[in-house]
Amino acid sequence: MYKASRFSPLTSIIRHTVVTLPTPINISTWWNFGSLLGICLASQIFSGLVLSLHFTAHTDLSFYVVIQSFGDVYYNWWFRALHANGASFFFIGLYLHIARGLYYGSYLFKEVWSIGVVILLLVMASAFLGYVLPWGQMSFWGATVITSLFSALPVIGGDVVVWLWGGFSVDNATLTRFFGLHFVLPFIVAGLVGLHLFFLHDQGSSNPLGVSSDFNKVVFHHYYVLKDLVGACFFIGPLLGLVYLNPWLLGDPENFIEGNPLVTPHHIQPEWYFLFAYAILRAVPNKLGGVVALAAAVLVLFYMPVSPKTSVKGLSFYPWGKMLFFSLVGVFFLLTWAGSKPVEEPYVVISQVLSFLYFSYFALIGPITRIQDKLL
């Protein structure tokens, strides 16, 4: 006889997602960043909604509205600091999440990985759009430089730039559409996160050993719920410390000056989490080549699911692969450093060498691990 479930369909979905979900017993702390990114996304959406209530997307008003809101709107300073620093922590979590996927072979879950890369692209786009909104010097000139890159596209480049600007320069129309897109994109990201989780739970999580763990799993709650809560405390603690003690540490002082199209900053650079890609862009002398290299720096992640397969998932048992991976981590940090430097020697040459090493990882990791398979 059929027995009706005591749970509603929605309750059942939530229960199977965060309570009874079968999870490998040996996953480590590196698997915490998925839930931490969910917390960051929720925090960014909520703080952004609060900030949007007191924002005016107009070139004559935006800068002064942001400054005035600090003193006149109750706790606006806190939400602004949380939103700005939360973006930095969001990218820290994203980069660590991707690094874990590269090291442990999570990219073999093709649907999960591909949706994750799309989420990364949308988050980067949203972060860039949000950086323009305060209309400070670095906001204005960052928008001008980055949108001008589309002019390198053959035939349609000029039309694309005019369409993005809504005119013949970065102006009020640009700011208005950037605000609209910045408001909408996080909700699209949230929907893709749901799809990301759907495919993840359908295919199952990977684990540090890279072997099948179907025979040795535990329920998600309470084992991993408690573990994620501990991770959240260690993640949120430094974020709140930064918000209260030094909220503008990661910002650019130029952005406390109103955007002025007649005064160019001495050194235009994006936020720190874009500096690695900015260094790759500047490393190529040709404008179109630089744009292609900039796009390839992120789009190369789509290649990983179709890269040469190994007998064991991940790099845990591949010493040469480990060396390559940690070299990539070092190159990433050095590219971030090089991107913060002026466009002059020796930084241009250093960026070119580092860019070559960055792309070399993705070309070499498959063949090198396959060679180790044959040797073993």
271 an active-site residue? yes
Check whether 267 is labelled as a binding-site residue.
no
Lowest mean pLDDT among 103-107, 114-118, 218-222, 337-341: 218-222
Domain limits, the chain = 16-254, 269-375
Residue 98's nearest CA partner among 126, 127, 118 is 118
Residue 35's nearest CA partner among 228, 300, 302 is 228
Check whether 83 is labelled as a binding-site residue.
yes
Residue 48: the pLDDT is: 96
Cα–Cα distance measured from residue 149 to residue 139, given in angstroms and rounded to the nearest whole number: 16
313 an active-site residue? no
Region 182-196 average pLDDT: 96
Residue 2: the pLDDT is: 44
Check whether 201 is labelled as a binding-site residue.
yes
Domain 16-254: assigned CATH number: 1.20.810.10
Given the residues 206, 228, 252, 313, the one annotated as active site: 228
Beta strands in the chain (DSSP E): 22-24, 217-219
Cβ atoms within 10 Å of 281's Cβ, excluding its own:
25
pLDDT category of residue 224 using cuts at 50, 70 and 90: confident
pLDDT at 222 over 70: yes
Query: What global pTM score does this model have?
Result: 0.93
Given the residues 16, 54, 201, 341, the one annotated as active site: 201
227 an active-site residue? yes
Given the residues 35, 47, 62, 205, the one annotated as active site: 205
The SS3 assignment for 2 reads: coil
Cα–Cα distance measured from residue 116 to residue 96, given in angstroms and rounded to the nearest whole number: 13
What is 269-375's CATH topology?
Helix Hairpins (1.10.287)
pLDDT in tens, 127-181: 999 999 999 999 999 999 999 999 999 989 999 999 999 989 999 999 999 999 9
Given the residues 54, 217, 227, 287, the one annotated as active site: 227
Q: Best-predicted range by mean pLDDT among 1-10, 14-23, 156-165, 216-225?
A: 156-165
345 an active-site residue? no
pLDDT, mean over the chain: 90
pLDDT in tens, 238-265: 999 999 999 999 988 899 999 999 998 8
Tell me the two tokens of residue 311: 């007998």
**C-alpha pair distances (Å), 312 with each of 12, 60, 300:** 35, 59, 22
Q: Which residue has the tokens 């700005």?
A: 84
Percent of the chain predicted with pLDDT > 70 = 97
